[in-house]
Homo-oligomer: A and B are copies of this chain.
Amino acid sequence: MNVLEERILKDGIVKEGNVLKVDSFLNHQMDIQLFDDMGKEWKRRFEGKEINKILTIEASGIGIAVAVARHFNAPVVFAKKSKSINIDGDMYVAEVESFTHKTKNQVIVSKKFLGPDDHVLIIDDFLANGCALQGLISIANDAGATVEGIGIAVEKGFQVGGQVIRNLGFQLESLAIVDGMDAATGTITFRK
């Protein structure tokens, strides 16, 4: 069991509707020492990959990405959520549906900061149905960048997102894959 799985068992809270609250250490209050340990682990798992840019999405991906970036000595670019329909030609755009908020957002990345020379590690806090991640991959593809790997903190293994991404051939490294949760007992089952 890794440091993130241990922390989820200690401080994660299971709510009805397959909701896992990790806001005390991951995506509202953020434990920087934990993030650093997660960065070390991803560095180990992506050993040998030439990564020169970390790509994430606002808001809760940013903190993890910045902590991780130190281990790869690479800058972070975060995709911005945009409501405006008038995006000018200087932006890569992808449509992203939020599982939590049931809303659609456009996410945008300036063309200045992603291009064919970039070898990208995508980082995010959660993977469920995979919409946010598919948007980031789409943006990397539009830019002609190479996605070297994907690092997710918590994957909901009982939803399709992870399977889709692995079927597409990406190296997806989720530090904690939750295969089941029980709100009545508070039990969390991780994939081995």
Residues in B with CB closer than 8 Å to A112 are 23-24, 29
State which of B33, B78, B110 has its C-beta within 8 Å of the C-beta of A30.
B78
Total copies of this chain within the assembly: 2
Q: Give A104-140 as 1s and 0s: 1 = Cβ < 8 Å from B's Cβ atoms.
A: 0000011011000000000000000000000000000
A65 to B60: give the CA distance in the assembly, Å: 13
Interface residue total, chain A, C-beta cutoff 8 A: 31
Residues in B with CB closer than 8 Å to A66 are 30, 32, 35, 62-63, 66-67
- Interchain nearest-CB distance for A36 vs B (Å): 8
A148 to B63: give the CA distance in the assembly, Å: 22
A29 to B78: give the CA distance in the assembly, Å: 7
Q: Once the chains bind, are A29 and B77 in contact (CB under 8 Å)? A: yes
Residues in B with CB closer than 8 Å to A69 are 30, 32
- Interchain nearest-CB distance for A57 vs B (Å): 9
List A residues at the B interface (Cβ < 8 Å).
Answer: 23-25, 28-33, 35-36, 58-59, 62-63, 65-67, 69-70, 73-78, 80, 109-110, 112-113
